[in-house]
Amino acid sequence: MLAKSVGDWKTISRFWMDPAGEPMETEGSGKTEMILGGRYQKSTHKSSMMGMETEGIFIMGYDNATQEFTATWIDNIGTGTAVARGRYDESTNSITLNGTMVDPMSKQEMKFREVSKFLDNDHHLLEMYMMYNGQEFKSMEIESFRQ
């Protein structure tokens, strides 16, 4: 299932700093490959945010023991690692991951939810949700188009 995403991607990223505000939008690129004997999917992303070149690496696999997807995210914006796990929903053709990361500003652990929607083989949408004043809001989305 994860191998279907192998290839080069054009991305459009949208970031919300304030739940009531308009998103910042930027274009970028991604490359997805299978690693470690096809057990894991590795995606590298390049874009920019507020004039800064950004790079990130996303690793996802399926843990046969727990029967869950597991994922990690690292980037050059901070020094932390986001870690998540979740399940595939066949009815929506999406993977929902719940995880934690440390907010670099407050240095407090925070929860997040990430939904990867496989709209078709050449068009994916990743949505990231965070908590703000006790309410969940969409903080980011990355729309990907196969090159």
pLDDT digit string (tens) for 15-34?
998 888 899 999 999 999 99
pTM, two decimal places: 0.90
Mean pLDDT lowest among 29-33, 38-42, 49-53, 96-100: 49-53
Find the radius of gyration of the CA atoms of the chain: 15
What CATH number should be reported for the domain holding residue 99? 2.40.128.20
| Strand ranges (E), the chain | 7-15, 24-35, 40-49, 52-63, 68-75, 82-89, 94-102, 109-120, 123-132, 135-146
pLDDT digit string (tens) for 76-106?
988 999 999 999 999 999 999 999 999 877 8
Distance CA 79, CA 33 (A): 24
In total, how many domains does the chain have? 1
Domain that residue 75 falls in: 2-146
Distance CA 140, CA 130 (A): 9
